[in-house]
Structure 1
């Protein structure tokens, strides 16, 4: 679907509208904590931005943007709300608002994502939305995946460019908010690649780096904190680094021994000495390494 962006819209009309005359076509479930914060903020300083509606044939209005603000005013006992009245098609209003929000970065992430979700629910593909907002279709898909799972913290991290969208998707599949926060902190500190981030996520989800009680029960979360998880992961990372160092040292020593034995097996006097001492056996690994160097009877 395409829109004509060259049309010059007339200045918006703003007036007080009875809340009872406004219909919310596609109501969305809101995060309770965020809703309470919004309501308290409106109670303290008033409504900073009017909602947007468009007139209906029956004389009422259809809500386009601002469900959270509308519900907050209702909770505060208000019967009227300041609203921008637009005559443009609903889809064009939503898309125009979304493009403006993305350009300005002044609106909350979840409000912008709500606009994306609204367009998707009205039949627009990720590619349709991407073409009109300057985002790729894949990026729109990933953002909506986070939005559908209520990952506001991760969406904010993506918007502020502290992590990439792919990293956010990986972190979103971590069990529990403390686990997600820990992985988010580690990603910001260490700039992990996707494969390493995925490995740490699986490690955290498996509970193998925690104490016996948590390790034995993947559903047990009592006592788990973000700080504790981060410490456990860093201990595991250090343990694995030490294991790699030991493995590399063993490999170097084994290589040295192999090279030394190769030289010795070229010496006829050494071979004669081995036979004289009755030493006819050799570990299989060394035999494989020395293949071609061993004497043949």
Structure 2
């Protein structure tokens, strides 16, 4: 297994140089567990500190009080630390975030922590490091929060849809399209690989209607919500239409290839060239070949 990596440099700091602001009492059972774990496996995660101006201390602790107490209990005087250049307010947020994560927070608490840290300018990777989640998880959450997609966040939290699909659904142009996709996914009517295509079709359909809002028929259609059955029919019809276009394109290309071969061979015969000249059609075959070959190059 690869060791955990951290985006900031880790240095060894003397514990007596670290000021623990607002120390919290620790459960002895938990404290002993941390100490035993460090004694057996070493410290898996460094503490986080920030520089301060103080007559006694060089640093203030941001995260890791339990780890420091456990290391002191083992008779050590140095601790691996990450030094962050952050304000006292940001340090408080980071400390609060770590405490929330440690006690298995409610989803709304965790989302609020991500929102607050993002507003403070922390990157996805920095937030992920503090919370102990992956960078992609933080990125997904941030995108949904920025769009105000609370329904999709709730659905993902309940396990109804994966988080990455919630982000995909959030790219729909309206809530009706979102509802259709979520319902179709929950009812196993669509596969994950088809969601992006269907979302694109729904968005194109919505964009097309924006230019026809003055038509009474369009207005009546817009007022009626599409069902999942209608969605699946529309998707299948669209796929069929695209396949028909591709088949027709292949048919045309095949015929053009045959025509190209015919005229190429005809132009190799002097009798054909002479006849075309007599009929004042000498340039026609070349124009046809240029047109055909030009189309083929564009393909």
Q: Taking structure 2 as the reference length, what is the TM-score of the superposition?
A: 0.50
For 1:210 and 1:229, locate their aligned partners in 2 and report how far apart those are by CA, in whole Å. Answer: 21
- Tell me the C-alpha RMSD between the 2 structures: 4.6
For 2:216 and 2:102, locate their aligned partners in 1 and report how far apart those are by CA, in whole Å. Answer: 46
Alpha-carbon shift at residue 256 of structure 1 (Å): 1.9
Gaps of 5+ in 1: 13-88, 292-297
After the TM superposition, which residues 148-297 of structure 1 pair with which residues of structure 2 at under 5 Å, given as runs? Answer: 148-155=146-153, 165=164, 168-184=166-182, 185=184, 188-189=190-191, 191-192=193-194, 196=197, 199-200=200-201, 202-207=203-208, 221-227=222-228, 228-282=230-284, 284-289=287-292
For 1:246 and 1:221, locate their aligned partners in 2 and report how far apart those are by CA, in whole Å. Answer: 32
Residue in 1 that maps onto 2:15: none
For 1:148 and 1:142, locate their aligned partners in 2 and report how far apart those are by CA, in whole Å. Answer: 10
Structure with the larger helix share: 2
For 1:268 and 1:164, locate their aligned partners in 2 and report how far apart those are by CA, in whole Å. Answer: 71
For 1:236 and 1:208, locate their aligned partners in 2 and report how far apart those are by CA, in whole Å. Answer: 17
Match of 1:191, SS?
helix
For 1:101 and 1:170, locate their aligned partners in 2 and report how far apart those are by CA, in whole Å. Answer: 27
* Residues 90 and 203 of structure 1, relative CA distance in 2, 3 Å threshold: closer
* Residues 226 and 94 of structure 1, relative CA distance in 2, 3 Å threshold: farther
Whether contact under 8 Å (2:124, 2:135) holds in the other structure is: yes
Q: What is the number of residues matched between the two proteins? A: 203
Q: What does the per-residue CA deviation read over 1:93-129, in whole Å, with 9 as the maximum and x for residues that have no partner?
A: 5434336649xxxx6x555423422444566543321
Alpha-carbon shift at residue 254 of structure 1 (Å): 0.8
For 1:210 and 1:189, locate their aligned partners in 2 and report how far apart those are by CA, in whole Å. Answer: 31
1:10 aligns with 2:12: no
Whether contact under 8 Å (1:158, 1:164) holds in the other structure is: yes
Gaps of 5+ in 2: 1-7, 11-19, 30-91, 295-299
After the TM superposition, which residues 68-79 of structure 1 pair with which residues of structure 2 at under 5 Å, given as runs? Answer: none
* Residues 278 and 148 of structure 1, relative CA distance in 2, 3 Å threshold: closer
Q: What does the per-residue CA deviation read over 1:190-248, in whole Å, with 9 as the maximum and x for residues that have no partner?
A: 50486x5674353133145999858856x984102242344334322321221122112
Alpha-carbon shift at residue 162 of structure 1 (Å): 5.4
Comparing 147-156 and 237-246, the one that deviates more: 147-156
Q: Taking structure 1 as the reference length, what is the TM-score of the superposition?
A: 0.50
Match of 2:223, SS?
coil
